[in-house]
Amino acid sequence: MPIDTKDFMDDAVKNMVELLETQKSVWGVKEVVPFRSTFKSRLPCIEVNSTDASFEHIESGGGYMCSIFVEVWYWFAQFKEGFAKEELDKKSSEIALFIASNQSLNGYCNRVFLESLSITALPDQRTGAPIVAAVIRCRIQKEIFLTFH
């Protein structure tokens, strides 16, 4: 029987949102929320999305290492030429370093690995100004033990 990964992925997103929420005023972010896939958020904002989970059997005590992949999206609107790169470099580095320095997501997991950081831009249909995002892809590892009934 396959393992339903939804609960693990939802928990990882919830814990990442709670961690990042503690720094939103430092970064000038209006909200930190689970991914909505729409642009109804107030910019600048951070959205967190889980994309995949896998399980690897570990020998110590019959547990499993669960790897949950999470993307942290830092969104904002580009108001002037040249602002996007400067802002993305600064803020995405600050956010990535904050995640890396909080390896347990406040006690939720064993480790957090930064996998990649990329930048994307999409046109805003209302204003015409591009909406830009830094995407920080993380792997959250959590050791779990399954109980059988």
**Sign of the dihedral defined by the CA atoms of residues 8, 9, 14, 15, in that order:** positive
pLDDT computed for residue 81 by the predictor:
58
The residues pairing with 110 across neighbouring beta strands, listed in sequence order, are none
Contact 136, 92 (CB under 8 A): yes
Nearest to 108 by CA among 50, 147, 31: 50
- Domains in the chain, start-ordered, CATH in brackets? 6-144 (3.30.70.1700)
Half-sphere exposure of 126 (CA within 13 A, CB side): 4
pLDDT computed for residue 82 by the predictor:
60
Instruction: Give the pTM.
Output: 0.85
Q: In the predicted model, is pLDDT for residue 148 greater than 80?
A: no
pLDDT in tens, 35-83: 876 555 678 899 999 999 998 888 766 788 999 999 999 988 766 656 6
Contact 16, 33 (CB under 8 A): no
Nearest to 26 by CA among 49, 50, 46, 48: 46
